[in-house]
Amino acid sequence: MLEQINLDQSLSRTEYRRRLPGLQTRLYDLEHAVFKAGIPVAIVFEGWAAAGKGSTIGVLAERLDPRGFRVVPISPPRTTETRYPWLWRFWLKTPAYGQIVVFDTSWYRRVLIDRINKTVRKREWQSAYQDIIDFEEQLAADGTVMLKFWLHIGEKEQARRIKKLLKSKLTAWQVTDEDAAQHRVYDKYLVAVEEMLARTDTPHAPWAIVEATDRYFTRVKVFETIISALEARLGDLAPPPPPAGDAGRASRRTKEAAHA
């Protein structure tokens, strides 16, 4: 699957700057429509270490109303959390009605990081697939819009990015032991990722594979995918899109709305 992805996809800086304000404004309008309609939205970001998950989420959140938007970073389970069923800690973080929640990595670490690092037994990560499918199906049945992104980069590109991050004291902290370990066994991770995508891509919780070599292309594709999904879910409740050619004024309108 992933070997067929064209990682050379790119977008010029000029084109990115032209399109981004309109996308941010549209998502801001849809956020308020989702809030009024009481629709919960869960957005999952998974991907390779150094693929740009954090920076993409940062741009996504930049113009949104924090009252209806929340980012949940996921780390290994704490001592108390290990005493409960493994999905328990994620149930606590699911979106309320009308709220958008972004998961910076998620319950999928069970079948990726935990699997490769062997912090769980084989039968545990194998059974986790059905747990995940049931979990997402229950959320969808309750009306949650489920969006899942896999940010994909090649092994050489990952090595280049990690090396660049480690060169500076200001960015070296971003490379965790888990990130370094992932790169050392890239091929093993690739097998696990392929299996994860194949087994958990469902109509109610589909995966969107994002070519992440170029950050401008990545961000625009993520925005457009989210906007399309929310418009489809809202239907007639979606606010009308701005007139064509209005992107130049979008940034100013977004700032004014954010400070209203």
Q: For the chain, give the DSSP string.
A: -GGGS-TT----HHHHHHHHHHHHHHHHHHHHHHHHHT--EEEEEEE-TTSSHHHHHHHHHTTS-GGGEEEEE--SPPTTGGGS-TTHHHHTTSPPTT-EEEEES-GGGGGTHHHHHTSS-HHHHHHHHHHHHHHHHHHHHTT-EEEEEEEE--HHHHHHHHHHHHHSTTTGGGS-HHHHHHHHTHHHHHHHHHHHHHHH-BTTB-EEEEE-SSHHHHHHHHHHHHHHHHHHHHGGGSPPPPPTT-GGGHHHHHHHHHT-
Is residue 162 included in any domain, yes or no?
yes
% of residues, the chain, pLDDT over 90: 87
| Confidence check: pLDDT of 247 > 70 | no
Is residue 243 included in any domain, yes or no?
no
pLDDT of residue 61: 96
Q: Tell me which of 107 and 3 has the higher pLDDT.
A: 107
pLDDT of residue 244: 67
The residue to which tokens 């007139």 are assigned: 243
Is residue 252 included in any domain, yes or no?
no
Domain containing 186: what range?
Answer: 2-237
**CATH for 15:** 3.40.50.300
41 confidence band (pLDDT: 50, 70, 90): very high
Is residue 249 included in any domain, yes or no?
no
Q: Tell me which of 251 and 7 has the higher pLDDT.
A: 7
Is residue 257 included in any domain, yes or no?
no
250 confidence band (pLDDT: 50, 70, 90): very low
3 confidence band (pLDDT: 50, 70, 90): confident
| Confidence check: pLDDT of 256 > 50 | no
How many domains are there within the chain? 1
| Confidence check: pLDDT of 184 > 80 | yes
pLDDT of residue 246: 57
Is residue 247 included in any domain, yes or no?
no
Is residue 259 included in any domain, yes or no?
no
Averaged pLDDT for residues 224-242 = 96
0.85 surpassed by pTM: yes
**For 84-133, how does the pLDDT look when each residue is reduced to its tens digit (9 = 90+)?**
999 999 999 999 999 999 999 999 999 999 999 999 999 999 999 999 99
